[in-house]
Structure 1
Amino acid sequence: MNTIDDKTIVKDYFNATGFDRWRRIYGDGEVNKVQEDIRIGHQKTIDTVLDWLKGEENLASLSVCDAGCGVGSLSIPLAEAGAKISASDISEKMVQEATKRAKETLGESNNVTFMVQDLEGLTGEYDTVICLDVLIHYPTEDAGKMINHLSSLAKSRLIISFAPKTLCLTLLKKIGELFPGPSKTTRAYQHREKEIVQILENNGFKIQRKAMNSTRFYYSRILEATRN
């Protein structure tokens, strides 16, 4: 399946049944046990990145691109901490929800701007570019092109997360494919860490920090890379 096919599937999914499902997961309302497990895992990833950035005590001076912002789970607390955020998502419904949540939390603050845009259409320059839990929707070749583009936007740092390709996770994925359901509308791609690192290095970045967050149904390797 090529990039445009995957993009179309992802866009349609998150503008339809996927939006309602993931809005609940990214919220604080009642969800089933699997969704709650994913919610916990995703929040761990958000908290890890927030801890990294807040630990440097210079958030107020940073311009940040949150590529694939979803409902604003990362953008809103970063803006609340003083960073200047440009947030985007391929799903119009996700952006609408993120805008609503930002207004409820931040009031009329102009620290964050949301827009509907796919990753490869993003422009500008930012101190830090962040892309969390997006690459799972794309095969490595296409994810590599996206990382290349995101690298061109980052003046000093790029933070990404992906589902690591390991024997254990590959087996779990195959088992899950035996039980298809209506919620499994997008493909879940895993990526070899060494390949992702090589792509970053080819773009002039070096790895500074790593983290691994996992629950029963959520697995995310986070890499922080800075320009050489």
Structure 2
Amino acid sequence: MNAADDKTIVKDYFNSTGFDRWKRIYGQGEDVNKVQLDIRTGHQQTVDKVIGWLQADGNLSEISVCDAGCGVGSLSIPLAQEGAKIFASDISEKMVEEGKQRAASNSKSSENITFNVQDLESLSGNYHTVACLDVLIHYPQDKADQMISHLCSLAESRVILSFAPKTPALCILKKIGSFFPGPSKATRAYLHREAKIVKAFENNGFQVGRKEMTKTRFYFSRLLEATRK
């Protein structure tokens, strides 16, 4: 399977059966199983860590943020409520429409967010901060390198990125099928070595600073903040 095939599969999945599954995971309802609830908890922890970083900087109302792969707006909406100007995009039309509906419930977040259906490679413009959470898991390393390069080209100051780290323990979990269990999981899960992600940033003139790791039973995500040198 090549990168082009992965992209098509991701788009089709999140516009069909995957949308209903992940809409529930990224929501607040109780119609989730234990695995989905665990993934919800882990993903929210990653989002909260990013929000905490940006709040600590004390300039949210003064910056622009590109949320590449925004999903249903889990990161974009709270950042917009804090006053940041957000450009939120996702490859899935259904995800974007759900994000718009969730943002519409709060006038401030709705005013500060521009949503668009767009794949990562076609994004353009310049933003103070570019964020891309839990997207690289759908793509192999060569495609990830290209994506990181493009994200860096959009960022005036920094890129915040999360990925599933390639460690011996997670490789074993992946092999036995418990990394992302469930019959509705229809995309491949790619693990990435942190050293290769860091190298990709360095090749584009960025230096990794703040780091975090989120680990629950079924959710594993390494979070890096890379700033322009």
Q: Does 1:47 align with 2:48?
A: yes
| Aligned twin of 1:24 | 24
Letter in 2 for 1:27: G
Q: Distance in 2 between matches of 1:171 and 1:191?
A: 14
Q: Distance in 2 between matches of 1:16 and 1:140?
A: 26
- Secondary structure in structure 2 of the residue aligned to 1:182: coil
Q: Deviations over 1:151-197 (max 9, x none)?
A: 10001100000000000000000001799753120000000000000
Q: What does 1:97-176 correspond to in 2, within 5 Å?
A: 97-106=98-107, 109-176=110-177
Uncovered stretches (5+) of structure 2, i.e. residues with no partner: none
What displacement does 1:211 show? 0.2
Q: What does 1:46-85 correspond to in 2, within 5 Å?
A: 46-85=47-86
Letter in 2 for 1:105: N
| Aligned twin of 1:182 | 183
What displacement does 1:109 show? 3.8
Per the normalisation by structure 1, the TM-score is: 0.97
Letter in 1 for 2:47: I
Letter in 2 for 1:147: I
Q: Deviations over 1:79-104 (max 9, x none)?
A: 00000000000000000000000001
Q: Distance in 2 between matches of 1:192 and 1:41?
A: 20
Q: CA RMSD in A?
A: 1.5
What displacement does 1:216 show? 0.3
Alignment CA distance shift 1:89-1:23 (3 Å): same
Q: Does 1:5 align with 2:5?
A: yes
Q: Distance in 2 between matches of 1:211 and 1:105?
A: 30
Aligned length: 228
Q: Deviations over 1:64-121 (max 9, x none)?
A: 0000000000000000000000000000000000000000123684210000000000
Contact between 2:162 and 2:224, CA under 8 Å: does it hold in 1?
yes
- Secondary structure in structure 2 of the residue aligned to 1:110: helix
Contact between 2:180 and 2:218, CA under 8 Å: does it hold in 1?
no
Alignment CA distance shift 1:179-1:123 (3 Å): closer
Contact between 2:130 and 2:159, CA under 8 Å: does it hold in 1?
yes
Q: Distance in 2 between matches of 1:75 and 1:179?
A: 25
- Secondary structure in structure 2 of the residue aligned to 1:222: strand
Per the normalisation by structure 2, the TM-score is: 0.97
Alignment CA distance shift 1:26-1:78 (3 Å): same
Uncovered stretches (5+) of structure 1, i.e. residues with no partner: none
What displacement does 1:3 show? 1.8
* Identity among equivalent pairs (%): 68
Q: What does 1:186-201 correspond to in 2, within 5 Å?
A: 186-201=187-202
Contact between 2:178 and 2:218, CA under 8 Å: does it hold in 1?
no
Q: Deviations over 1:116-135 (max 9, x none)?
A: 00000000000000000000
- Secondary structure in structure 2 of the residue aligned to 1:39: helix
Contact between 2:64 and 2:129, CA under 8 Å: does it hold in 1?
yes
